[in-house]
Amino acid sequence: MEFEQVESLYRECVDEIGKVVVGQMELIDGVLIALFSEGSVLIEGVPGLGKTLLVNTLSKVVSCSFGRVQFTPDLMPSDLTGHNIYSMQDQEFHFTPGPVFTNLLLADEINRSPPKTQSSLLEVMEEKQVTIDGVTRQLERPFMVLATQNPLEHEGTYPLPEAQIDRFMFKLVIDYPPPADERDILGHYAAGRNPHQLSGFDIRPVLSAEDVMSIQQIASKVIVDDKVLNYIVEIIDRTRNWHSVSVGASPRGGVNMLVAGRTLAACRGRDFVTPDDIKEIAPWVLRHRLLLRPDIEIEGTTGDAVIAEILDSVNVPRD
């Protein structure tokens, strides 16, 4: 597979998802870039904005196995990973796999469950494996967690543990659609096309699991100049010393920025990363990794605004 093919397949995926999901281009781009980077995505937004619809549509465009878990306060870790059940007939234990044994896992409203259950995804997201009763089982590749969450100020939500939230490659924020897009959404229903029944949208599968892994392999070969590496390092370092930030980005944040920058370049048909690629994906990588000072948050300053300040303060390398 060549870089031109990667760009073509990427555009086809965007077009097919766009048949159902109106607007939300940043969300669609971010999810595809994360999939091709072997990363997971945290999607935040109030109910009813199409977060689950996007993931369902993606599972049709990418011909991979798909699993969904609705997170609730009584959800147990074994409900995700699986458990051993004793068989009276065989007089031995048999493993029953949980919903994590899939390619695309939708963790719907992940912050509706307590931290113990949320943390059960740590090994799954980082190591792509599950260990139960001392036995480690590898997950099938490709594997991706797409977690949705409601804003934390909503009733009945629990903040994700810091150790887990750092394992998400991106945090994507979905907002209310503009009037023109909302008109198109209503147009689907007016024309008799129900997004809950995707068969009416004539969605065509574009990628197989093997195609996704091929794109991941191609993206890993994208050239990264030393100037771009230094640019990433300076951005990450600024987050740790910025006046309005109490906790900056981890080294994993820099790695994710590099990996995602490579994938973005490949999806644009290039075999090299530009500083603009890094600047484009930086908010997705950083917004869940920065902890603002309490007095800054009280003033109403958002994390995205701080990230924009940091990016503007760093000199962009030019040839």
Do 127 and 196 share a domain, yes or no?
A: yes
Residue 106 is assigned to a structural domain of this protein: yes
Between 252 and 81, residue with greater pLDDT:
252
Between 166 and 46, residue with greater pLDDT:
166
Do 259 and 180 share a domain, yes or no?
A: no
What CATH number is given to the structural domain containing 305? 1.10.8.80
Do 177 and 138 share a domain, yes or no?
A: yes
Which residues sit opposite 173 in a β-bridge?
Answer: 44
Do 228 and 258 share a domain, yes or no?
A: yes
Between 12 and 96, residue with greater pLDDT:
12
Do 125 and 269 share a domain, yes or no?
A: no
Which residues sit opposite 43 in a β-bridge?
Answer: 148, 172
pLDDT on residue 239 = 94
Q: How far apart are CA 253 and CA 311, in angstroms?
A: 15
Residue 209 is assigned to a structural domain of this protein: yes
Of the three residues 188, 217, 246, the one that is the final residue of a domain is 217
Domain count of the chain?
A: 2
Do 18 and 125 share a domain, yes or no?
A: yes
Which residues sit opposite 83 in a β-bridge?
Answer: 96
Residue 303 in tokens: 């994390």
pLDDT on residue 76 = 87
User: Is the pLDDT assigned to residue 210 strictly greater than 80?
Assistant: yes
Kind plus residue range of the DSSP H or E element containing 108: strand 104-108
CA angle 16, 22, 23 (to 5 degrees): 105
pLDDT in tens, 114-159: 888 888 887 788 888 888 878 888 888 889 999 988 776 666 677 7
pLDDT on residue 152 = 62
pLDDT in tens, 260-291: 999 999 999 999 999 999 999 999 999 999 98
Residue 143 in tokens: 């594997």
Residue 88 is assigned to a structural domain of this protein: no
Q: Are 49 and 88 in contact (CB under 8 A)?
A: no
Residue 263 is assigned to a structural domain of this protein: yes
CA angle 219, 34, 157 (to 5 degrees): 165
Of the three residues 197, 217, 237, the one that is the final residue of a domain is 217
| Complete edge-to-edge strand list for the sheet that includes strand 41-44 | 66-70, 104-108, 144-149, 41-44, 170-173
Q: Which residue has the tokens 């997004």?
A: 195
Do 9 and 25 share a domain, yes or no?
A: yes
- In which domain, by residue range, is 241 found? 222-313
How far, in Å, are 100, 149, 169 from residue 146 at the CA level? 11, 10, 11
Which residues sit opposite 208 in a β-bridge?
Answer: 63
Which residues sit opposite 147 in a β-bridge?
Answer: 42, 107
Residue 65: which pLDDT band, with cuts at 50, 70 and 90?
Answer: confident
Of the three residues 169, 184, 217, the one that is the final residue of a domain is 217
Residue 43 is assigned to a structural domain of this protein: yes
Kindly report the number of other CB atoms within 10 A of residue 174's CB atom.
18
Nearby residues of 248 by Cβ (< 8 Å), 6 or more positions away:
236, 238, 239, 240, 241, 242, 289, 290
Do 230 and 175 share a domain, yes or no?
A: no
